C-alpha cells in the first residue's frame, strides 16, 4: 500500500505515510522554508486530539509533506497540511504532493467509516482553489469550513493510491 508521487521530470516515485516523531522535527526548520507559524511539535503532545503523519519517498528520509488529522464519527477532520518547501512553486519537485496529502486524509476517512469525508478550515484565499481543484463543498462559508465529499475523495485515492505495493 503506497502512493504515487509525480516528479517534475514525470518519473513516478513510491511514497508512504507514517507517524511524525520528535526525531523528525529538526527537518522542519523555518530557515529551510517550512512555514512560520506552524508548530508540528504540538501534535506530538500526549493525548493531543490530532495525529500528525509525514509523507516520505520510500528509501528516503526527507519529509515531502505533513498532515494532522483527527478521526471523527463519520468523517476525518484535517487540522493542518503542509507541503515541503521543495514541493512548492516555483521548484515543485513533486507536482502532486498536496493532492496526495489530501488523498491520505480521504483514505483514512474511508478506512474509519467516514466514506471519504474530510472536513477542514481553509486558510484565507484558498477556498476557491480547494473548491475548483478538489471539488470541495462549502459547509460554512463564514467560518471557511469545507468538506471533501465521497465522490471526490474516491477519485483522489484512485488517482494516486497503489494497493498491494
* Interval 19-56: pLDDT, tens: 999 999 999 999 999 998 899 999 999 999 999 999 99
Q: Give just the sign of the alpha carbon dihedral 113, 117, 121, 126.
A: positive
Tell which wins on pLDDT, 97 or 125.
97
* Interval 62-111: pLDDT, tens: 999 999 999 999 999 999 999 999 999 998 999 999 999 999 999 999 99
Alpha-helical segments (H) within the chain: 97-111, 127-134, 150-160
- Report in angstroms the alpha-carbon separations of 66 from 63, 72, 111, 137: 8, 19, 19, 23
Tell which wins on pLDDT, 135 or 164.
135
Q: E-strand spans in the chain? A: 2-6, 12-19, 51-57, 63-72, 75-83, 118-121, 137-140, 145-148, 161-162
CB atoms closer than 10 angstroms to residue 123: 12
Enumerate domains of the chain plus CATH numbers. Answer: 2-162 (3.40.630.30)
In this model, does residue 161 exceed pLDDT 80?
yes
Phi-psi region of 116 (alpha: psi -120 to 50; beta: other; left: phi over 0): left
Whole-number pLDDT of residue 165:
46
Measured in degrees and rounded to the nearest 5, phi and psi for residue 132 equal -70, -45
Core vs surface per residue 34-62: b (16+ CB within 10 A) or e: beeeeebeebeeeeeebbbbbbbbeeeee
> What is the model's pTM?
0.96
Amino acid at each position: 500500500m503506497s502512493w504515487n508521487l509525480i516528479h517534475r521530470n514525470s518519473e513516478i516515485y513510491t511514497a508512504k505515510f507514517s507517524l511524525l516523531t520528535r526525531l523528525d522535527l529538526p527537518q522542519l526548520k523555518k530557515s529551510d522554508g517550512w512555514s512560520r507559524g506552524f508548530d508540528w511539535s504540538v501534535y506530538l503532545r500526549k493525548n493531543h486530539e490530532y495525529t500528525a503523519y509525514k509523507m516520505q519517498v520510500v528509501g528516503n528520509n526527507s519529509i515531502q509533506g505533513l498532515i494532522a488529522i483527527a478521526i471523527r464519527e463519520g468523517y476525518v477532520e484535517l487540522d493542518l497540511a503542509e507541503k515541503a518547501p521543495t514541493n512548492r512553486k516555483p521548484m515543485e519537485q513533486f507536482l502532486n504532493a498536496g493532492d496526495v496529502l489530501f488523498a491520505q486524509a480521504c483514505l483514512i476517512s474511508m478506512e474509519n467509516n467516514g466514506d471519504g469525508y474530510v472536513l477542514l478550515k481553509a486558510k484565507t484565499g484558498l477556498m476557491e482553489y480547494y473548491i475548483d481543484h478538489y471539488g470541495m463543498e462549502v459547509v460554512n462559508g463564514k467560518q471557511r469550513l469545507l468538506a471533501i465529499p465521497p465522490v471526490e475523495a474516491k477519485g483522489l485515492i484512485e488517482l494516486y493510491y497503489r494497493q498491494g505495493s
